[in-house]
Amino acid sequence: MDILRFITAGSVDDGKSTLIGRLLYDSKSIFQDQLEAIERAGQVNGQINLALLTDGLKAEREQGITIDIAYKYFSTPKRKFIIADAPGHVQYTRNMVTGASNSDLAIILIDARKGVIEQTFRHSYIVSLLRLPYVVVCVNKMDLVEFSEEVFLNIQKQYLEFAKDLNLKSIHFLPISALNGDNVVEPSASMPWWKGKSLLHFLEEIEIHTEEESPAPRFPVQNVIRPQTTEYHDYRGYAGQIRSGHFTVGDSITVLPSGLTSKIKAIDTFDGPLTTAYAPMSVTIRLENEIDVSRGDMLVVTGKEPVVSQDLEAYICWMDQKVMTPGSKYLLRQTTNAVKVSIRSLEYRVETSTHEKKEQPNLGLNEIGKVTIRTAKPVAYDPYSKIRGTGSFVLVDEGTNQTVAAGMLL
């Protein structure tokens, strides 16, 4: 069994919470005591309010809105699912980026009565920017348009027209009614014209993209393990999680950014040594000779090096109330690395619903822009489009310690 992580996106009242509730309910992932709790809380139009399953905070239940991301879990005999349930309106961009950063797939909900709207554009742009391999567009509330195939096909056409400028590799469409459960877990009897799978069936079958097959092996060092005991007197292991590709004992290794070289002597785990280890395994690597390696360094297979530079270009999503002004300094965290940086320039801001590029002096909360960054020391990275694990970063404000931006390197 493997894991599929996905995010649900859509405008307020498009039925996100109801869809998640329906997935959990129809896949029998809701427990009796949870059900009783939401039944006690009252009904909506004669049905239990499935949306209450996802709004975990008192303030959310009081206001009937989702304030922050919640993670929900369910599994079928085929797969474990992790849902990032992101709010539809309050601070949408920031929360969408957060949820999408850990997802393999995005479900974009469209209200069949309204069709493609500005929020659809905005969410699809973010999914494209974050390079999620799959998008499932669920045309919801089909019960309110008499289950019309024509309405569904029109929305599909409209979406594809707009999406041709985006970087979406694989787009699927599904007509559903989250409220009644049509095509969510079971195929719908009301839409005999629909020959495709139900949403759950689709999610169970889709092939997940992983980075274990990447031709570029990457191992950011987290800690140096040095027991200094009698038994392990000279033991010096580099602990970390393989971000992409695989490493084998005997591989020639280059340490970045220093450029020092060595060979892999052993790959250790608590359960014994390995000959080869794959992403995303957490292992401890030992090298043949004693060279200077510490946290923040990256071990790569010689000949397959990433970019090493002090000048970075990136898209960033600004997540703080205080605006970003070029010239400001931040702490950049990328893999296990932390380095001081200065934002040199803001080239433009992107209007997420139209893709327009606009020049402006600074970047505000929830805005996305392209920037150039100068780092205090060289950073080893890959373009985000090649390897998410080494091409992503966050910026931290050293005054407030807040995470103020998410970044994707070019």
Q: Which of 149, 212, 311, 356 binds another protein (CB under 8 A)?
A: 212
Q: Which is nearer to another protein, 54 or 183 (CB)?
A: 54
Q: Which of 8, 95, 177, 198 binds another protein (CB under 8 A)?
A: 95
Q: Name the residue among 341, 336, 331, 346 with its Cα closest to residue 397.
A: 331
Which residue has 């949306």 as its token pair? Answer: 51
Instruction: For residue 39, give the H/E element and its range.
Output: helix 32-40
**Closest separation between CB of residue 90 and another protein, Å?**
10
Cα–Cα separations (whole angstroms), residue 302 to 25, 237, 260, 306? 51, 19, 10, 10
DSSP code string of 94-108: HHHHHHHHT-SEEEE
Q: Which is nearer to another protein, 181 or 389 (CB)?
A: 389
**Closest separation between CB of residue 362 and another protein, Å?**
19
Q: Which of 47, 167, 210, 321 binds another protein (CB under 8 A)?
A: 210
**Closest separation between CB of residue 154 and another protein, Å?**
36
Beta-bridge partner residues of 72: 83
Q: Which is nearer to another protein, 49 or 392 (CB)?
A: 392
**Closest separation between CB of residue 213 and another protein, Å?**
5
SS3 content of the chain, % helix, strand, coil (to 5): 20, 35, 45
Q: What is the chain's alpha carbon radius of gyration, rounded to the nearest angstrom?
A: 24
Residues 7-36 contacting another protein, CB under 8 A: 31-34
Q: Which of 240, 300, 350, 371 binds another protein (CB under 8 A)?
A: 240
Q: Which is nearer to another protein, 24 or 155 (CB)?
A: 24
Alpha-helical regions (H) of 169-299: 199-205
Residues 166-205 contacting another protein, CB under 8 A: none
Q: Which of 46, 231, 289, 359 binds another protein (CB under 8 A)?
A: 231
Q: Which tokens belong to 198?
A: 């139900």
Residue 331 is a binding residue for another protein (CB under 8 A)? yes
DSSP code string of 111-167: ETTT-S-HHHHHHHHHHHHTT-SEEEEEEE-GGGGTT-HHHHHHHHHHHHHHHTTS-
Residue 354 is a binding residue for another protein (CB under 8 A)? no
Residues 253-292 contacting another protein, CB under 8 A: 269-271, 278, 280-282
**Closest separation between CB of residue 70 and another protein, Å?**
4
- Given the DSSP bridges, would you call strands 261-268 and 282-287 parallel, antiparallel or unpaired? antiparallel
Residue 347 is a binding residue for another protein (CB under 8 A)? no
Site size for another protein (CB under 8 A) = 74
Question: CB under 8 Å to 100, separation ≥6 — which residues?
Answer: 7, 84, 86, 106, 126, 127, 130, 132
Residue 295 is a binding residue for another protein (CB under 8 A)? yes
Residue 57 is a binding residue for another protein (CB under 8 A)? yes
Residue 376 is a binding residue for another protein (CB under 8 A)? no
CA angle 4-10-13, nearest 5°? 125
Residues 69-88 contacting another protein, CB under 8 A: 69-73, 75, 80, 82
